Each structure stands twice: as C-alpha cells, then as structure tokens.
Amino acid sequence: MTDEPKASSSTHRPSVTIEIVTEVTEELTEAIAQLIPQLSSSASPPNADELAAIANSAGATLFVSRLDTDDRRVVGTLTLVIYRIPTGLHAVIEDVVVDESARGAGAGSALVSAALEVARQAGVRNVDLTSRPSREAANRLYASMGFEARETNVYRYRQT
C-alpha cells in the first residue's frame, strides 16, 4: 500500500492516514473481512484474489484509512470507480465503510476527500454515490462535504 498525505485532524483525536491499495496483504484481507459485514449483511467479504483484481483494475481505486495510533490498523475503506461513457468521464464512490470503533475520528471524511481529489485529477466533473437512508451519519457526512441529493430513480435488476 502506498501512503498518501495525512488528513487534518483536531488535537483531540488521532490523525488519519489514507492509502491507495497497490498490494494486497493478509492484514488488508482480514481488515476488509471485518469491515464489509458492517456495511452489508448480505455481501460476502472479498478474498485476496478479488481484492487484487480491484487494486489492479485500471478503472478502480481502492482506498483504506488508518488511525495514526500505535497499531495503525485499517479502520475504513472506499472504492472509487472512474469510467468513460459517451456522455463523458464519470465516477462513483462505492462501499464506504468505517469500523464502528473508529467512527467520528475523521476516517470517513478523509477517505471521501482523497477519492474526490483522485477524481478531480482524472478530470471527472461529477462524482456520484448512494447511501441508504438508514445510514444517517453517513448521509450527514456526504451533505456536509457538498454532495447533493439528486432527483432520480435508482433501479436494480437482480440476475437469477
């Protein structure tokens, strides 16, 4: 994993380091396995090969956050997907999750900020994300960072 600049923080909490995943380790695989159930009760955590496919994908960037504490464990993750379609370059933020024990420490906002910067550098004008209404704190975070709710319908087709 490659270290990115530290996110700013208050003096009352540890600072946060954001990393872009370039190498899948056992530590990363175990951390993601702990985080995914906190995001979705129906999704299975990815294995090391699946994480490597994301990390090596030209269109996806896998970010992790660490609190700058003694153990420096991974406390959050986010995936940014950038793709080109006929109407232009698009980006979507997916699977944002911060460990329950680290929520409120700035890891989520640091992850989103890092993803927005990568998207900006790639030339993306708009970045989309979705969040269930029940994730109230996450929705407040996104609104505070400048995301606006869109009037649209989101449809899902389930392959059988």
DSSP per-residue letters across 99-145? -GGGTTSSHHHHHHHHHHHHHHHHT-S-EEE---TT-HHHHHHHHHT
Q: How confident is the model at residue 8 (pLDDT cuts 50, 70, 90)?
A: very low
Strands 2-7 and 74-85: unpaired
Q: What letter represents residue 130's amino acid? A: T
Q: Would you kindly state where each structural domain of the chain is located, as residue ranges?
A: 2-144
- Any residues with CB less than 8 A from the CB of 70 and at least 6 apart, and which? none
- From residue 160, alpha-carbon distances to 68, 122, 157 in Å are 44, 36, 9
| Assigned CATH class of 2-144 | alpha beta
pTM of the model: 0.88
Q: Write the pLDDT tens digit of every residue in 12-69.
A: 677 999 999 999 999 999 999 999 999 999 999 999 999 999 999 999 999 999 998 8
What is the C-alpha to C-alpha distance for residues 39 and 139, in angstroms, rounded to an integer? 14
Helix ranges (H only) for the chain are 26-39, 48-55, 107-122, 136-144
